[in-house]
Structure 1
């Protein structure tokens, strides 16, 4: 009994079901998980839950029993596995197993990079095949059976996962989309529908949740795409049923401290990025210096001191249509500590002249809006910027996690009585990265506040709470729809960029981005940050105090924000147009020059 109580484990489960009362589910997890000492991630959406938690096996079993008491979770596949207790602090932090994170999200898995696009209805998902049924179909096809149907296997995971393990079945084609993130999969399906049309498609992923959405999307393409099936419980259930690995070769990548789980077959599928030797261990957490994707680097190559790597996908982009093999670029000096001139690629290696038909990848930039704004509004305000950068970058917009009460200034008609009219229900919700210390939990149009208080230009000095929640939210964003090349922030968003990158540098030694762009920002004063500069190339753009002054943020505050970064790789643009992101010449040309150094 003592051994069982001390045994450690990991529990994974998801459930697609309409959540009638999201708050009550949040309250349950917020009470149940801490009481059992569980850590990890809980994501709750209007259409279900997605959970990965770790703790003592006895506690995890108690959690499962309590979940089964709720009819909402009838039929849920609770995948519980025993394992060693985590000891590597870096891996624990990166996998989110150093604390419990409970978040309400729009959808359980981010299927599309465009936040305005509608995800498919999972009720139209492909049929479930148990591990034995899945294996039986593959076995029959391997031996020439299968009723004459053409079978194709489709791996719904990311390329860094498939690099260390995949299904290998004679006479069965396995399609590996080689996506960096799940939100790239719809585009791959659109572009390769001819490889799926009219065939029986067998899909698989780690635990099953990604196949639910992806199979539903394939089935929306018409009658020739209806014969879609998915491995119920994913690779995890398959390996439990076939401990020798069956048709699965290598290791199953998992998103917790275990990193990967193998079978009794010790075959190594992966290989070192640099020397090509057999290798499948991601525990060193090495990443591509250009797209930030995990890469495999063996201990011998890592021991040579190289800290910058280029993944095989980035190498393919660099090669373009050329058949000539290019060497893997491994830079000995950290990209984040070099000056802007040093990090600019040489024309011999990377030319953007008209004489070269080189298909380079657009930069992906995560954009953080200002205080009391939202992602869609910020996207509209920066439409001119996005248009002028369309050949260089893709801008991705998100809402901050803290919803604010609606502050409403009534007009003269509505103030003619003691009970002013409520704001129009079409009014947009407002969010923040940092909130005032006196802020309460009320938010949205139902808790509007009528006010005639004039604008306070120093209000940002009181916005000091909520950083930890925003930091966890950004971690989740990067995990779900990343990686990103750069991060852009406006006003309070710029302050958050600095805080977040500083936090990542303290935790992991790296800021997490290749560059930062900070517009009309200020230095937020929060405790717990050292004085070491942020080692990341950065662009700082703010008003010079002349002409139309920035009423919100004084120039001195933007200069203080700039001082948080390595001064050897800072670019400064000053303008006379107030609290905006300038998009006319010469400012836009300077912004383009900055970005072109990373393409």
Structure 2
């Protein structure tokens, strides 16, 4: 893979980061570019107003000169420079993928992006978990379960890395549970933490990552979750410093994945914990650079399986993206791929094919199904949509037409009618009333007279209207007749709709069972109120399982008692202070948003009426929210 540099001069890789306020970001960027170019260093430099994150490679003498130049700035006093000697890369393909054939100096907003959407409250590095040296980290793990650990419910190790990293190496100890989130990207970590907070709360949480930077903000995020999340610690210098302190690996088993041409770094312990995607044999070498053809994530394919020829590989996350329903994914994607194969291969159609097994029969998709494969790179989110009061599934779907079109590559929306049927209401104009009765719309759109409004049955062109919550009078109503409204429209009527929650809840449990699984729930107005109760109940009911909620023009329903903060990632969309929403006030929607844990809550205010906004600025933010759950 690698060869010694020219003239036998030693080469190396340097990693470091520093969270510190940079007073003049452009000038700092110029310094790094000039210094690295003059020393012949290649790699990545990221600079933000809050600090720097650097991974560069080159001659060891040049790297040491770079360190001296950076240390001349008082801003970088105390920086942990992780310098490791290595051979110069001989595989240009690997070096190119890792960014070690050029120098990239970029100014960014964040050194690492913890969330793909803005958090309601910015995280502060000052609130990060306490740093433990490699020796201290090792000692805490070693003493877990002893009398010295009586102050905690227990100890847990939390891996802040991505699944392709944790496949080949992780901490393992008899007395400590290792929590591997199994995430595709770092920005998925907050959602995993929100969904598994019960496994973390009350424990001594020991976080670790490759070099330490990802634990900084992730540990700060953990500590925002309040009671039970006070004891959060992070491995200073990451796995790299730990392996330097414990060359035999200590409690770390396998290899440390690194983001440079070395690919991974191991200890003197040669045990392999990774396994081949296809045959399951022990294997941990990513040098072949095989990737999932859906999400492009690295996958492990052993040498024996590689000998079968080029193939299409599907990673474990894409296989299980529909919550374990592999056969459904297999059927959908196999059909696409089979149709693109030569006829002689199509005829083979091995009966025992699974995603992994099928790959042996499929050619590299060079030019085939390019657009389709790209659109499949991430499975669409399935979102259950709950309409508002006196609406129905069909009407709500029509109203969301533009909204759905703009999100068609991200999500598919499923609509259902609420279980409480409502009578048809006509609001007569004063000129329509006479001594004998009122006028009602006829099937052909003309007016039809009747001596009594109740004598007019609804026409076939009229669609039933439904509700999730009703008044006591409406709860057991089964009539499909027209009624004349006996009073003007009351915008505060939702406060009187306190009945029928249990019937609606049981209906939705059945919906999840028969039409699920769903990744999220979206509700509008009364539907948002009902969706909020699902968020509150999902931690206590295995039949209600979803990842997030989108609540539009929502409010707190009097029909349900909310206790404590709701631990569910949520996006709240409602009219702001200059909104034209005359039905649900901003204060009512804001009150609902405040029932959710602010650490995983996003609020999006708009200037329109009682609608779901579709302007580009709002859609962009909605996309950012949804993408974290893919």
Deviation (angstroms), 1:194: 0.9
1:337 aligns to 2:367 (yes or no): yes
Which of 95, 98, 101 lines up with 1:95 in the alignment? 98
Deviation (angstroms), 1:333: 2.4
Is the alpha carbon distance of 1:252 and 1:89 closer, same or farther for their aligned partners in structure 2, counting shifts above 3 Å? same
Which of 69, 75, 79 lines up with 1:76 in the alignment? 79
| Equivalent position of 1:283 in the other structure | 287
> Cα deviations across residues 355-405 of structure 1 (Å, max 9, x unaligned)?
xxxxx93279xxxxxxxxxxxxxxxxxx9765325465169xxxxxxxxxx
Counterpart-to-counterpart distance in 2, 1:49 and 1:190: 28
Is the alpha carbon distance of 1:226 and 1:35 closer, same or farther for their aligned partners in structure 2, counting shifts above 3 Å? same
Q: Could you tell me whether the CA contact under 8 Å between 1:112 and 1:119 is conserved in 2?
A: no
Which of 165, 169, 177 lines up with 1:165 in the alignment? 169
Deviation (angstroms), 1:113: 1.6
Q: Could you tell me whether the CA contact under 8 Å between 2:157 and 2:179 is conserved in 1?
A: yes
> Cα deviations across residues 46-79 of structure 1 (Å, max 9, x unaligned)?
0000000001111111111111111100111000
Is the alpha carbon distance of 1:40 and 1:306 closer, same or farther for their aligned partners in structure 2, counting shifts above 3 Å? same
Which 4+ stretches in 1 moved above 6 angstroms? 2-5, 322-325, 340-345
> Cα deviations across residues 431-490 of structure 1 (Å, max 9, x unaligned)?
xxxxxxxxxxxxxxxxxxxxxxxxxxxxxxxxxxxxxxxxxxxxxxxxxxxxxxxxxxxx
SS of 2:93's partner is helix
Counterpart-to-counterpart distance in 1, 2:318 and 2:268: 34
SS of 2:44's partner is strand
1:252 aligns to 2:269 (yes or no): no
Deviation (angstroms), 1:229: 0.2
Counterpart-to-counterpart distance in 1, 2:372 and 2:238: 46
Counterpart-to-counterpart distance in 2, 1:151 and 1:306: 44
1:133 aligns to 2:150 (yes or no): no
Q: Could you tell me whether the CA contact under 8 Å between 1:142 and 1:169 is conserved in 2?
A: no
Is the alpha carbon distance of 1:103 and 1:118 closer, same or farther for their aligned partners in structure 2, counting shifts above 3 Å? farther
Counterpart-to-counterpart distance in 2, 1:269 and 1:134: 22
Q: TM-score w.r.t. structure 1 length?
A: 0.57
Aligned residues: CA RMSD: 3.1
Is the alpha carbon distance of 1:341 and 1:280 closer, same or farther for their aligned partners in structure 2, counting shifts above 3 Å? closer
Structure 1 or 2, whichever has the larger Rg, is 2
Deviation (angstroms), 1:284: 1.0
1:227 aligns to 2:227 (yes or no): no
| Bigger mean CA deviation after superposition, 77-86 or 111-120 | 111-120
- What are the ranges of 5 or more consecutive residues in structure 2 without an aligned counterpart? 329-351, 383-399, 413-613, 615-629
User: Matched residue pairs, number?
Assistant: 365
1:312 aligns to 2:330 (yes or no): no
Counterpart-to-counterpart distance in 2, 1:319 and 1:227: 32
1:189 aligns to 2:206 (yes or no): no
Q: Could you tell me whether the CA contact under 8 Å between 2:160 and 2:189 is conserved in 1?
A: yes
Q: Could you tell me whether the CA contact under 8 Å between 1:39 and 1:55 is conserved in 2?
A: yes
1:362 aligns to 2:380 (yes or no): yes
1:114 aligns to 2:140 (yes or no): no
Deviation (angstroms), 1:337: 2.4
Counterpart-to-counterpart distance in 2, 1:95 and 1:342: 27
1:12 aligns to 2:30 (yes or no): no
> Cα deviations across residues 561-584 of structure 1 (Å, max 9, x unaligned)?
xxxxxxxxxxxxxxxxxxxxxx9x
1:388 aligns to 2:395 (yes or no): no
1:21 aligns to 2:24 (yes or no): yes
Counterpart-to-counterpart distance in 1, 2:302 and 2:24: 48
| Equivalent position of 1:61 in the other structure | 64
Is the alpha carbon distance of 1:48 and 1:332 closer, same or farther for their aligned partners in structure 2, counting shifts above 3 Å? same
Deviation (angstroms), 1:15: 0.3
Q: Could you tell me whether the CA contact under 8 Å between 1:67 and 1:73 is conserved in 2?
A: yes
Deviation (angstroms), 1:317: 2.3
> Cα deviations across residues 96-121 of structure 1 (Å, max 9, x unaligned)?
00011000001000111225766521
- What are the ranges of 5 or more consecutive residues in structure 1 without an aligned counterpart? 351-359, 365-382, 396-582, 584-598
Deviation (angstroms), 1:336: 4.3
Q: Could you tell me whether the CA contact under 8 Å between 1:305 and 1:332 is conserved in 2?
A: no
Counterpart-to-counterpart distance in 1, 2:189 and 2:78: 27
1:263 aligns to 2:267 (yes or no): yes
SS of 1:141's partner is coil
SS of 2:206's partner is strand
Counterpart-to-counterpart distance in 2, 1:127 and 1:261: 26
SS of 2:79's partner is coil
Q: Could you tell me whether the CA contact under 8 Å between 1:287 and 1:293 is conserved in 2?
A: yes
Q: Could you tell me whether the CA contact under 8 Å between 2:313 and 2:355 is conserved in 1?
A: no
Deviation (angstroms), 1:250: 0.3
Deviation (angstroms), 1:130: 0.2
Deviation (angstroms), 1:167: 0.3
Deviation (angstroms), 1:152: 0.6
SS of 1:229's partner is strand
Which of 202, 208, 222 lines up with 1:204 in the alignment? 208
Is the alpha carbon distance of 1:225 and 1:4 closer, same or farther for their aligned partners in structure 2, counting shifts above 3 Å? farther
| Equivalent position of 1:300 in the other structure | 304
| Equivalent position of 2:475 in the other structure | none
Is the alpha carbon distance of 1:144 and 1:268 closer, same or farther for their aligned partners in structure 2, counting shifts above 3 Å? farther
Deviation (angstroms), 1:303: 1.8
Is the alpha carbon distance of 1:341 and 1:171 closer, same or farther for their aligned partners in structure 2, counting shifts above 3 Å? closer
Counterpart-to-counterpart distance in 2, 1:35 and 1:384: 56
1:155 aligns to 2:173 (yes or no): no
Q: Could you tell me whether the CA contact under 8 Å between 1:33 and 1:63 is conserved in 2?
A: yes
SS of 1:33's partner is helix
Is the alpha carbon distance of 1:188 and 1:201 closer, same or farther for their aligned partners in structure 2, counting shifts above 3 Å? same
SS of 1:15's partner is strand
Counterpart-to-counterpart distance in 2, 1:268 and 1:320: 26
Counterpart-to-counterpart distance in 1, 2:296 and 2:143: 40
Counterpart-to-counterpart distance in 2, 1:341 and 1:110: 28
Q: Could you tell me whether the CA contact under 8 Å between 1:5 and 1:56 is conserved in 2?
A: no
Counterpart-to-counterpart distance in 2, 1:187 and 1:392: 21
| Bigger mean CA deviation after superposition, 24-33 or 235-244 | 24-33
